[in-house]
Amino acid sequence: MKIALVNPKTDVFEMRMLYERHENIALGSIASNLESHGYSAEIFDLRVDDLSPCEIAKFIVTRNYQIVAFSINFATFPSAINICREIKFLNKDIVVIVGGEHVSYQDKKILGFYGHYIDFVIRGESEDTFVDLLKYLDNNNSNGCSVHGISYIDKRKNIFIRNDNRKPIENLDALPFANRTISKKAIKKGKSIEIGILAQRGCPFPCSFCNGNRFLSNEYPMIIRRRSPANVVDEMELLHQIIYKNRSFLRFYDATFITRDSKNRQWIETFCGEIERRNLKIPFDVFIRANSFNLNESNDISLISRLKSIGMISTYIGLESGSDSTLEKYNKKVDVNESKTMFNFFKSIGINGSTNGCMTFQQESTIIDIIKTVEFLYEIRLCSFWNCLTRAETLPGIKLNIINRKRETPWDVYNYSFCDKHVDKLYSILDQINKSFPSVRIEDRLIRLISGRTKSHFFAAGRDI
């Protein structure tokens, strides 16, 4: 059985700038897990492989792949649909599967729109679900599929079926390390790639703008599953040479790498000990919250110093907004002062601080909220046009209350206007500037490159990894 795993491209400039260079860990993990169960899968990344949607579709058909699966988000969804459509046009017998956080919460609508091109939607964690689905397909079973964690259209009865959720994988150490074919290929071709790793799955914080609390827990909220520190560091050692060749750092994709929870702190202490014991030198960055540390506690200051000494060169802090009233709507459980204090502290000790972009605009934003956020961004020197323009995305599965929203397409996440007419007009003007002047779009990229000098200095200083 020939299996292709595909990471599509996005045509959205801002999304390309943010995520295009990120390694797709999900596909790597699926591929290695399939191999451990006797299946063979080949991974394709359209950016790294220099393939258009039409070219990858023809390649899959002419090379006689029987199954093709896509890891997609709202930005790559249109590209994935074009590929699915072309594949089914050329060979309707190829089984098409899609997975990812977006399709997990849009399964019924997606299959309703595109059931002619998509056979199965895998919801949530895909490793074990994919294996069970292949076993079902191997048996050529004509009965309905009962695999947990999938949705599909029963073509005999022409009805939508959503099977029960799959329970989260309890022992993450049992999963093989992710396949790194794409990273190695990118490095060989001289293409930029950001290499990542996951130490835990789940998120204890139910922020209203994010579905991570649900998706990363496989629909069992508040369940946090961690790999053992030794297992994580084992994988880091294997990635040592790849990171060195890439002249880069390792990115931890954990939703929140460090919290004040006692179990998390115990894990972090053991993790630090493992790296120190092995004298491993790998630069890495992590996602944290503005209240992940108590800067008035000497133990927390010591822990930050220890993390820096083992390679933590930067942090992504979820800043989101410079308005406390907006943070309250986002259910962040932090205030602006905490964000400012944490960001400035890390900067003062030489740890690069960044953000994935404040959500400056949300449906109930006021002009005052926006002014406060812009002033906040200016104060911490992240006041790029892009950061000022960003708005809350209505991702499926989130709790943020968006009034009168209507998805024009399954990937539409900006499907709302603003309650305040002045805010609505302001956003329209800024958005038009953004679309009309390409130079504006690279401003944020330049700011990121400048603020990221800490990472490049890791190598410039001759630090051995």
Alpha-carbon distance 133 to 146, whole Å? 9
- Give residue-wise pLDDT tens across range 4-18: 999 998 866 555 555
Gyration radius (Cα) of the chain, Å = 22
Among residues 201, 139, 208, which one has the least CA distance to residue 171? Answer: 201
108 Cβ contact partners less than 8 Å away, ≥ 6 residues apart:
151, 160, 162
Strand-strand pairing, 200-201 and 225-226: antiparallel
Among residues 364, 360, 359, 358, which one has the least CA distance to residue 422? Answer: 364
Among the ranges given (194-198, 301-305, 450-454), the one the predictor scored with the smallest mean pLDDT = 450-454
Alpha-carbon distance 112 to 74, whole Å? 17
Q: What is the mean pLDDT of the chain?
A: 89
- Give residue-wise pLDDT tens across range 344-361: 999 999 998 776 668 999
- CA–chain centroid gap for 434, Å, is 24
- Give residue-wise pLDDT tens across range 55-105: 999 999 999 999 999 999 888 999 999 999 999 999 999 999 999 999 999
Among residues 170, 87, 183, which one has the least CA distance to residue 127? Answer: 170
First to last CA, the chain: 40
- Quick one: which H or E segment has residue 303? helix 298-309
pLDDT of 401 higher than 80: no
Q: Percentage of the chain surpassing pLDDT 90?
A: 68
Among residues 221, 341, 347, 365, which one has the least CA distance to residue 293? Answer: 341
**pLDDT attached to residue 355:** 63
Q: Within 10 A of 171 (CB to CB), how many other CB atoms are there?
A: 9
- Give residue-wise pLDDT tens across range 146-179: 999 999 999 888 899 999 999 999 999 999 999 9
Alpha-carbon distance 128 to 75, whole Å? 26
Residue 58, both tokens = 């023809």
Its pTM surpasses 0.85: yes
pLDDT of 454 higher than 50: no
Q: Which residue has the tokens 């709507």?
A: 329
More confident residue, 410 or 12: 410
The pLDDT confidence band at residue 247, using thresholds 50, 70 and 90, is confident
Residue 99, both tokens = 């997975």
Domains annotated on the chain, with CATH = 3-162 (3.40.50.280), 194-460 (3.20.20)
Q: Which residue has the tokens 């030489």?
A: 350
Contact criterion met (CB below 8 Å) for 86 and 58: yes
Among the ranges given (8-12, 378-382, 421-425), the one the predictor scored with the smallest mean pLDDT = 8-12
> Read out DSSP for 216-260?
TTTT-TT--EE--HHHHHHHHHHHHHHHHHHT--EEE--S-S--S
Alpha-carbon distance 239 to 224, whole Å? 25
Among residues 402, 364, 366, 372, which one has the least CA distance to residue 388? Answer: 372
Stretch 245-251: mean pLDDT: 90
**pLDDT attached to residue 192:** 87
462 Cβ contact partners less than 8 Å away, ≥ 6 residues apart:
none
Alpha-carbon distance 133 to 120, whole Å? 9
